Each structure stands twice: as C-alpha cells, then as structure tokens.
Structure 1
C-alpha cells in the first residue's frame, strides 16, 4: 500500500469521486424540489451501497483502498450532510432535519448491508 502508484491512484480516484458527487448532487437537486437536501442524501446513500459492495467483493487491499477511501470517500460527504441538517434546524424545519438524519443513517446502514450482500456474490 505504500507504493507511489497507489497514492497517485488514490488522488485520481478522489478527484473523480468529488466531480461525480458534484454532478449527481446537482442533477438530483435540480430534478427534485424539496427542502430536504435530496442531492446530498442520494450521494451518501449511493456511497453506502458502493462501500458495501467494495467490502463484500473481497478486493485486494490496494484496490479497496483506492476505490473505497479515494473515490467513494471523496464522493460522499459527512460535512455537507451535517451542515444541511444544521441549516434545516436554524430555519425551524426540525422535522425535516430529523428526517434527514434518520433517512441518512437508517437507509445508509440498510444499503451498506445490501452492498455487502451484492459484493459477496460477485
């Protein structure tokens, strides 16, 4: 894991993941009008599924590191999720803030498990 090539691949994967997040979040946010931050929710749930698949597929350590940590790590966003949840609370949309927390955590775990199951069958 300490080779220069792995670190270069990690950086490239992270760049790709960040751009993919920007594109998917924007597309979903434009398509769905809601006070719930559905773009970020979609990105993070897709990332949960992807990480489950990566873990379940028993990839080599280097491949899992590059794809899971680099690409999917940069694709998903904890900080934006927390910022948007806090913003909903500030706007007195407490039910929406709670919904955002609940959906992200519960569906994230479910999709992670589903990804493990799918990955285990690859």
Structure 2
C-alpha cells in the first residue's frame, strides 16, 4: 500500500451536510463513504451487518440441529417414534429446508455485492 494522496473537491454546503449525515447514519467516515461509492463497493457498516447476519443464521441452524438430534436420540433409544414426535420432526425438517433456501438466496445476493 503506497502513500495516500489528498483530493480536494468542491460541493455545495447543503450537499456536504447531506453526505455528513449519511456517513453518520452508516457509522462510517466520509472518506470511506466517498471511496465506497466511487468504487461501487459495499460500505463497512454493511459488511459488519452481513457478518452479524451470517452469525445469527448459524446460531438458528445450531438450535434446529440440536432439536433434530434430540428427536433422533429418543427414536433410537425407544426403537420407535410417536406420531406427534414424527410430525414435529417433519415440521423442523420443513423449516430447515425453507430457511436454507432463503439463506442461499441471500448469500447469492451477498456474493454479487462483494464481487463488484
């Protein structure tokens, strides 16, 4: 990484205030706001939100997988599974399928954003 250069640009005071407000809302510096905008990149705060989302998704799937394991453990120990437990198991599997499909769609959008 080389030496940083200074660029001076002229904008209206109202525009500067608008940019300052936007950078504050996004919790990034005005420099990062401008650089990300010019380079068509996602903002640092958006990158943090993506990481938080991925972590939350991971936690949700861990909970669901734990429930599935508990049901499977019960079924293996008893050598059968009641209709009620089987229905719950199918609902959990259906929920996982739905959530995974949503997650994959979101990840595709994230990858598109990161590729720019």
TM-score (ref. length: structure 2): 0.38
The answer to which structure, 1 or 2, has the higher relative contact order (CA under 8 A, 6+ apart) is 1
Richer in helix (by share): 1
